[in-house]
Structure 1
Amino acid sequence: MVLADNFALSLHILEDTLYLDLDDTLQKNNNSSTTVLRGFIDVTNPKKKLRKRLIQRHLVLNPSSASPDSGGMLRRYPFEMGLLLKDLPDSIESKNIKVTYNVKAKVAYAYTARSSRNCPIRLARFPFKNSMLFGDNVARSIDSRRHHAHFFDYHLTVEKDTGLSVGALLPLTLWIAPRIPGVRLLSICVFLVERRSVHGHEREEKCSAHVLSRVNPSQQNVPAHVLKEPWRGTIEYHLPNDLMPSINAPDFFVVKHTLKVSMAVIFPEITSGRVQRSISFETDVEIRDRQIGLLEKLGAFNLPEYEHNLLNLPSTPPPMYEYPPAYSVS
């Protein structure tokens, strides 16, 4: 990220997103942060006497470490700065909640006024803590378990290795088994409800509902005919781009999401002919930052998994070594 103009100072950040909860165990043991912010500052100055400082840790940028450029008018100062990010919320922006972060650099000249620049940076929370190499500790799916009704059974699952993220796809798998003749599934509708509450003198919760659209409506359809046998299918839905990530910052605010699935079913009944019923299922889900979804598309979470039995020692000792037969001299 580059912020350059007619002024004498520009700030560059090598990575515009920092990830939270990447390794909390290391922070607790060492009582220090493991997140490193890297970048550099370009100072355009015709004078030779400069004094440079960053406000966070007041890092002194040694003039001897600067690399001159543009005929000696520009000097570049690389820097690294450790940050304590554990308790900070993600970067979000909505109507009633806005969280933004900036890195600020200042330069002071010997005979002129000071100048400063801000560079925006995002904070995005990792989809799991201390579990990158432990697949059993990562929630692999959203599972409704098998539900029974007097006219049909159903089972809903959402398979997602790293969780759901803003703007990503939600693969919903539906299994239906009729229990009486004549059962037909009319429609299925998926909602995502977002609740935002700010903590202060008055706690007010704002709620918004989003109807999820299908990725491919022409191909991913529910069966329109009467179900004579169990049916199973997967339908992909788009998560809206204007969602906020799920955040639980008790001292500041809370953002929660609930996934709701509504199914309209029609079946015959002796007394009143055909009857239509609506069945709903809902569960709390965690929505991650959009940057997490981009990392997932790049395969950043495709880590190898190992079978547990490969790490176990053999139960029986190896066979004893047997000497070869002696040679006979004829």
Structure 2
Amino acid sequence: MANILTTYKIPQNVPRSTCVESCPTGHSKIVQEGKQVCCYNCAQCSEGKIAAETDADQCEKCTEDEYPNQKRDKCIPKSRTYLSYEDPVGAGLASIAALCFVATVIVMGIFATHWNTPIVKANNQSITCVLLSTLLLGFPCSFLFIGQPGTVTCLLRQMLFGIIFCIAVSCILAKTITVVVAFMATKPGNRMRKWVGKRLAMSVIFPCCFIQTGICALWLATSPPFLEFDTHSQTGHIIIQCNEGSDIMFYIVLGYMGLLATISFMVAFLARTLPDSFNEAKLITFSMLEAHLVTLGQSLSA
């Protein structure tokens, strides 16, 4: 008996239990219709799914913070991305905002140095101070759009920009109306003389800013901005961004600023033919063209 077991040789070509080669990793089995279960096709896993084992019955989906590698046999953690200060775009925007902030400080210093001069007095001191102050606050708002956003950042950045920029446009609108009223007041017997001064400016700035503040408050009460993790836009990256909450309210805020800028532009354009002593309207016209560009740029960036 021992001799028989010793001399018996196992055949080299043993029949297999399957009709095909084993499915490699990154593929799943698909049973062929009308054939035995052991006969199947191999199909590569679809996008976002992997198969870590051979002859996998089905592919498994990666989690939202992971993505499959090229062979689709392993899930890799996604990297988080946002507009950082190390990014060329972020560094460029931060540099421009810092330079504009310094330039505004220099202008304010020059303005304060020559406070009692006739040219400064004729330039509506109070309105100009408010305008320069809002510009001084407006440029740092750019830093809220750079760096990793947070819950507080998302709530504040559009609101602060909308209100501060609205105050700046309202100041320019007040200066425009003041120039027109001042010209009308020079005519003999005109009753507009009593409106020239701070009262006219404040009666324009406060209502305009109050409306914008009310719109922002309604935005916060109904559908405020919130922090969002976009895991679908780019493969391999999680984009950390702020969702504006309500696109309608966002465009209402921008539209209101655009409306104020348009009114100022129209008034200044109509007053461009005033005598040289009232030529400030020409500069206001140029300023409102810049305001329109800023509003358009903010709309496109959203």
Answer yes or no: same fold by TM over 0.5: no
Return the TM-score normalized by structure 2. 0.27
Higher relative helix content: 2
